[in-house]
Amino acid sequence: MKMKKLLLMLFVINNCLISNAQTITGKLIDQDSVGISGLQLRLYIHASVFSATSDTSGSFTFNNITEVKEKGQLPTGYSVSENFPNPFNPKTRIFITLPQSGNVKVNIYNILGQKVLADMDRYFNAGTSYIDLELKGLPNGIYIAKISIDEKYKIVKKIMLLYGSQHLNTSFVTESNISSQPSKLSKISSSVAIDSLVVTGSSINKNKYTNLPQYSGSGLNLGKIVVDQTMIIPCPGLPTITYAGQIYHTVQIGTQCWLRENLNVGTMIDSTKEQTNNGIIEKFCYHNNPNNCATYGGLYQWAEAIQFQNGATDHILATPSLTGNVQGICPTGWHIPDTTEFKILIKSVNNNSNALKAVGQGVTRYDGAGTNTSGFSALIAGICNFDKSPFYNNGFFNLGYDTSFWLSRESDSNDAHGMLLIYDNSIIFWIHTIKDFGDSVRCLKDN
């Protein structure tokens, strides 16, 4: 029976085509699970924006979602080769060509649908690269390699492990001598990431939801979505500021005045490059996608965030040590908070990270769901790891799982203080983190 189910699943993955116009539905509810009517919704999928209004029961429908279209081949500029050798013993190679830099993920399953190899997540520059798959220690048989490119294009390959068969000869195997048909590959089980869902209304503050399910074109129900109806109190006389062409909202939390959005200023650079003291503010965008900066804000290395003040770098201590307000990349009259100010924020919300997280961020399990009672509206924006080790591959990680905010004080020459929020925990963590990681920046108004 399991074999029949798997074969059916593979048939669907390889042969089902997705219709061009489908719907995304859901229901807006309050904290008591009562539907909320008359709210405006905007759904962002890449460059497309779809609109809807909740009805008397709180239900909504986005019609004619046409972002996912019927496809039987990869777009021009993309290709994924067959693996070689095949059968293999115990390592095989797959070449991947991208027209622009992107992330490639590979999952390996056995014939029963069980994952047999840890997820492989690699960042590749434009051009042709390769991934070597090694199944040493696993039994002979057919395995399924599921390859995802930028979480947008998905290809399934059948590979065969057979001990005693051909070894991978790295000096011989090149893209040109592997049988490849880049324009006629395994059919794509197309799906696209929903960038965000924004809910507004005359009686509520804007609610933004991220980390939503991917849309495959076959109709998607987002289920019940809790709307934060708390009216956030802006800083007195300063509801918004405009900085570098972008509007930021403010929020008063106890005695402190904070920006309510992560900073998103500067020029995006590729995550394989280091942010340097060159007179230009530089930022990373999660997965090198500018849309993620628009949603979550930029990710900055510590020295860039504090603008290399007093000669500080990601590997050299500031001389003299940093004291007082450190403006860094914040607007004039604002600064990156220090550890003392961070402790004041913690006390204001009784060390409850859920009070800082936006509604829709985190999970109820283990008491990690955001309530946003403070109005801080934190999004779980992930981190960029600039570590050059092969394990990290200059990549991004933990979007939807944790987020870290820089503080202006150093721990030592390589580490600085930060504030960490986790998706499944209500505690606010004070951490020491590596300076050349890319973290979020939230600015605090000068006294």
Q: What percent of the chain has pLDDT over 70?
A: 85
At residue 353, φ and ψ (nearest 5 deg) are: -65, -25
Distance separating alpha carbons of residues 52 and 60, to the nearest angstrom = 6
Cβ atoms 77, 128 nearer than 8 A: no
Which of these ranges, 205-219, 335-349, 404-418, has the smallest mean pLDDT?
205-219
Identify the residue with better confidence: 237 or 201. 237
Q: Cα separations (Å) of 66 from 196, 292, 414?
A: 16, 21, 47
Q: Which long-range contacts (CB under 8 A, 24 or more apart) does 232-239 make?
A: 232/205, 232/260, 232/372, 232/375, 232/377, 233/375, 235/445, 238/445
pTM: 0.57
Tokens at residue 412, please? 């030592």
Distance separating alpha carbons of residues 355 and 369, to the nearest angstrom = 9
Cβ atoms 159, 145 nearer than 8 A: yes
* pLDDT, tens digit (0-9, with 9 covering 90-100), for 230-273: 778 899 999 999 999 999 999 999 999 999 999 999 999 998 88
Q: What pLDDT is stored for residue 170 in this prediction?
A: 65
> Hey, do 2-66+193-226 and 79-177 end up sharing a CATH topology, with the first three levels equal?
yes
Q: Give the β-pairing of 402-410 and 256-259.
A: unpaired
Q: What pLDDT is stored for residue 393 in this prediction?
A: 44
Q: Where are the domains of the chain?
A: 2-66+193-226, 79-177, 240-445
CATH class of 2-66+193-226: mainly beta
Confidence of residue 331 (pLDDT cuts 50, 70, 90): very high
* pLDDT, tens digit (0-9, with 9 covering 90-100), for 143-176: 888 888 887 777 888 888 988 888 887 655 665 5
H runs (alpha helix) in 248-371: 290-296, 302-305, 339-348
Tokens at residue 206, please? 């804007």
What mean pLDDT is reported for the chain? 84
- Residues of 356-367 as b/e, b for ≥16 C-beta within 10 angstroms? bbbbbbbeeeee
* pLDDT, tens digit (0-9, with 9 covering 90-100), for 365-384: 778 999 888 999 999 999 99
* pLDDT, tens digit (0-9, with 9 covering 90-100), for 78-112: 888 888 888 888 899 999 988 888 888 898 988 77
Q: What pLDDT is stored for residue 203 in this prediction?
A: 67
Q: What pLDDT is stored for residue 4 in this prediction?
A: 39
User: ∠ at Cα 70 (67, 71), nearest 5°?
Assistant: 110
At residue 290, φ and ψ (nearest 5 deg) are: -55, -30
Q: Residue 424 above 80 pLDDT?
A: yes
Q: What pLDDT is stored for residue 326 in this prediction?
A: 98
CATH number of this structure's domain 79-177, picked from the four choices 1.10.1270.20, 3.40.228.10, 2.60.40.2550, 1.10.760.10 = 2.60.40.2550
Confidence of residue 334 (pLDDT cuts 50, 70, 90): very high
* pLDDT, tens digit (0-9, with 9 covering 90-100), for 17-66: 333 447 899 999 987 788 999 999 999 886 678 899 999 999 999 987 76
Could you tell me the sign of the dihedral formed by the alpha carbons of 347, 341, 304, 372, in that order? Answer: positive
- Facing residues of 293 across strands? none
Q: What pLDDT is stored for residue 216 in this prediction?
A: 76
Q: Residue 141 above 70 pLDDT?
A: yes
